[in-house]
Amino acid sequence: GKGSYEHYMKKEIHEQSRAIQDCLRGRVDPETNHILLEELAELDLPATVQLVACGTSYHAARYGARLLREHGIAAQTFLASEYRAETVPVDEETLVIGVTQSGETADTMRALREANGAGAVTLALTNTVGSSAARECDHVCYIRAGPEIGVAATKTFASQQVALALVTGVLAETAEPAFLQGLAELPAQIQTVLENSQAQALADAYVDSDAYFFIGREYTAPVALEGALKMKEITYKHAEGFAAGELKHGPLALVTERTPVFALLTEGSRLEKTLGNVKEVQARGAPVIAVTDAPQTVERYVDHVLEVPSTHPYLTPILANIQLQLASYWLANRLGRSIDKPRNLAKSVTVE
């Protein structure tokens, strides 16, 4: 049950520290600095990787693809509903990873079946033992987030990101010591964010806004997309996420004093450039909420600061996203929305 929590979503947001501990358990060898995913022991190193997913899982996939590419592995992300094995080169040296919490999403299942049919090696990255994706794929890696009841995906997103970081370590056959150190510290840092977040105060200030925008760059660009998806899903308000550089290519026309902008201003994701975008929206009167690991650097430029601890740049997006989850949660709570079961949505989408 929900225990003392008002909603499953809130409970699941607060379970993220535990979820990450579970995801990591036994998978990093502190002696050798090696990542061990027993499930992937039989996997041959692929020439290329394609990730297929929907919704929040697609945002995790975008994060994973960037990480893979940064390690020299050719990786591409596809919305599962747009994936056609016949239109992309797929062969037995292609690893197709289906990122799906439920393991039952129809679009993702179709993409995985097509990939299998085209001779690809397939991997299900899922939370659900025995799910359709786990059965369809040649390999399976469990994210171990524990059951997620809220329709809005929260802890499964964090666990997918960590699991994709582990898969990257396996495929790249290397992991930086600083990154492994960051992984070890991540559960405690998540707890720090949960205990100190100032996100609740934003709900009163911005409940009447027309729309909410989210901007991020590089590692935090997928988090900007995810922040906006969560906001629209549970508040029913207009929200959009962009790669910060895209702002002036169109979305800036929508920015007014009634459109708060959440800016992911983190070291390691070109903070100075995104600060330039912050100035552009402020010149149009938009309030700016920074999610940052560098409060001293950014606070004089923004209206609110949601702080996250410093960590390895690969892991900052996981911490930053938790602040955005809380911001959406408190706004939806203030609006009295049906947070755990938003209108028109289902936990698992089993039709294409």
Binding footprint of ligand M6R on the chain (CB under 6 A): 54-57, 100-102, 105, 108, 151-153, 229, 233, 348-349
User: Which CB sits closer to ligand M6R, 106 or 205?
Assistant: 106
Residue nearest to ligand M6R (CB): 55
User: Which CB sits closer to ligand M6R, 56 or 277?
Assistant: 56
CB of 327 to ligand M6R, least distance (A): 15
User: Which CB sits closer to ligand M6R, 271 or 324?
Assistant: 324
User: Which CB sits closer to ligand M6R, 150 or 169?
Assistant: 150
User: Which CB sits closer to ligand M6R, 76 or 348?
Assistant: 348
SS (H, E, C) the chain: CCCCCCCHHHHHHHCHHHHHHHHHCCCEECCCCEECCHHHCCCCCCCEEEEEECHHHHHHHHHHHHHHHHCCCEEEEEEHHHCCHHHCCCCCCEEEEEEECCCCCHHHHHHHHHHHHCCCEEEEEECCCCCHHHHHCCEEEECCCCCCCCCCCCHHHHHHHHHHHHHHHHHHCCCCHHHHHHHHHHHHHHHHHHHHCCCHHHHHHHCCCCEEEEEECHHHHHHHHHHHHHHHHHHCCEEEEEEHHHHHHCHHHHCCCCCCEEEEECCCCCHHHHHHHHHHHHCCCCCEEEEECCHHHHHHHCCEEEECCCCCCCCHHHHHHHHHHHHHHHHHHHCCCCCCCCCCCCCCCCCC
CB of 44 to ligand M6R, least distance (A): 26
CB of 276 to ligand M6R, least distance (A): 31
CB of 349 to ligand M6R, least distance (A): 5
CB of 133 to ligand M6R, least distance (A): 8
